[in-house]
Structure 1
Amino acid sequence: MASSLLPAFAVRRGEPVLVAPAEQTPRETKTLSDIDDGEGMRFYSSGIHLYRANPDKQGVDPAAVIREALARALVPYYPLAGRLREEAGRKLVVDCEAQGVMFVEADVDLTAADFGDVQSPPFPCFEQFILESTTVAGVEPVIDRPLLYIQVTRLKCGGFIFGQRFCHCVADAPGGMQFEKAVCELACGAAAPSITPSWGREMFMARQPPQPSYPHLEYSEPAGGPVDRMLTTPPGDVARVLFFFGWGEAVYGGPAKGGEGPIPGVTNYFSRSKNGKGEESTVVPISLPKDAMDKFQLEVEGLTAEI
């Protein structure tokens, strides 16, 4: 269904395919921490990036470029190509057997300009630009499913939309963006992209050490040692990973919708935006009952009027 801000359209999806690592990867089992296999983590988090056309990329298929880069990035980040399995006590482990991530290419008769100036989530008609897994009784299972779903939608102007859904058990926002950064570096032609350990707690441990070219990444060594290395990204540096693939200007990069998780309406995303005066600001979505929201809005308006 098209948004009232968009002309009528229909996304034409191809057949989804599994993309496996481009090279042989370790066959092993990785156990998730007690933090990562909790009930509150068992969902998929979605994001969207919208890009304008780049005249230098005329005749180049972004879906093909990204698919190849994805396969190469899955070599060091091979656990992402695995599958979650439950053991005794509902403990989650990842079977790393290079099963692959789900990928689909699509086309739509829209231009990047049709979306206007998207400032914050939800992205217009985001359901059309992300590939979701099969739901069971309204719930999207994570067991024995691909851990990453990607849809690349070509626009008639030459731009494209990159939509992804990560299983939150194995990738939080900084970890997911770090993987996307590796994909983009490969898509841009980097022979040796910077591969660094992601959010630790064992999962997403790439086989290469941290690279000095990422001074904004901070590492700490918990009691568990290197295998538990944690990665944190200072909030001010999030924008550094929003512009990638070397295509046209990035129009939008961020969550597909306001909030996701096992509890409807709960959200914890924030993103940069601009108000009606063109002033930069930070959007912090919250969910409250309508009567409480009305009161909260009055309070915020009163506080901001004094600034």
Structure 2
Amino acid sequence: MAAGLVAGAQGTAHAATIFVPCFGPNGGGAGLVNAINTANLNAGADTIVLSPLCPYTLNNVNNNTNGPNGLPAVSTEITITGNGATIQRNPVGTRPNFRVFLVSSGGDLTLTGVTVRNGRTAFGAGIRVDGGAALTLNNSVIRNNTANDPTPGGLAFGGGIFNNTGSVTIRNSTIRDNTAVAEIAAGAGIASGAGSLTLIDSTVRGNAATGGDAAQGGGVWSIFGNTLNITRGIVTGNTVDAPDVAGAGIVAAAGGTAQINGAVVRGNVATASGATGQAQGGGIFNGDPMTLRNSVVTVNVARATGGGTATGGGVLNEGALTRQFTAIVANVPDNCVNSGSGTGC
């Protein structure tokens, strides 16, 4: 078997530990491809161990399941112990566009001590998680991935992570410097729809959604019945820029719920460039039942540079907002604004 397999009994393969060296015939990006293929065939939970601080570079499309992917789709329970390694689409020269990871139905991927970077595709450039699948990040970084669709009317969701009705748990990790660019762009850091997204002791920073028509959720975009939980998180320095924009830091809307506890939402900027455009929610745009507890929303900005309107510099609330021991202060042009049937500001 490829890449240094240490496994159980003869016959049907059971849970295994697979070591992938940095270099050599069974190492690097090609060795990681082989290791995931092997793990997908095994019954039980497999662990893939990477070399410390090694760059595992992917050069080509491996498959086209729900868009181009650099690695085989994860369809079983796999833990990748990275030891500070990076898994990346090759950043040098002209390479095909593809995402790094796809977790398909039945897959359960845990990344520990891994950086995922430079993926490029329309939906989930770093990682895509589909229905019936789960992703857990521990002490990991998702950075410099781009969700992009340059076609007229194009959609781009989830520069870093796109959770498509699955389950995502992020602990002690950073989602940073990812982008979403299209006519309609959303969730440059994380886009999560009709599933669950939990962030614990994690940071979402410096992500940017740019739309030719609209942009939402520069940091986090939680919609379509999604369950969002943020505990002791930092959401900072994220942006949305388009003729119409909402929620540079966080969007929570369209039938879900949101619990934000012990978080800081700071320094996010929503810029509406359209002549009649709207900038709604520099820090947070809320359309769901949301609880803000023991948190701070500050120094966020909603601005209209093309002649439109800007409101809810801290929070634009169209849902049922509950505030407990939470400061919403020093935002521009205002702090917390109820809109429509919104209550709680």
**Which of the pair is proportionally richer in helix?**
1
TM-score (norm 2): 0.25
TM-score (norm 1): 0.27
Larger RCO: 1 or 2 (CA < 8 Å, sep 6+)? 1
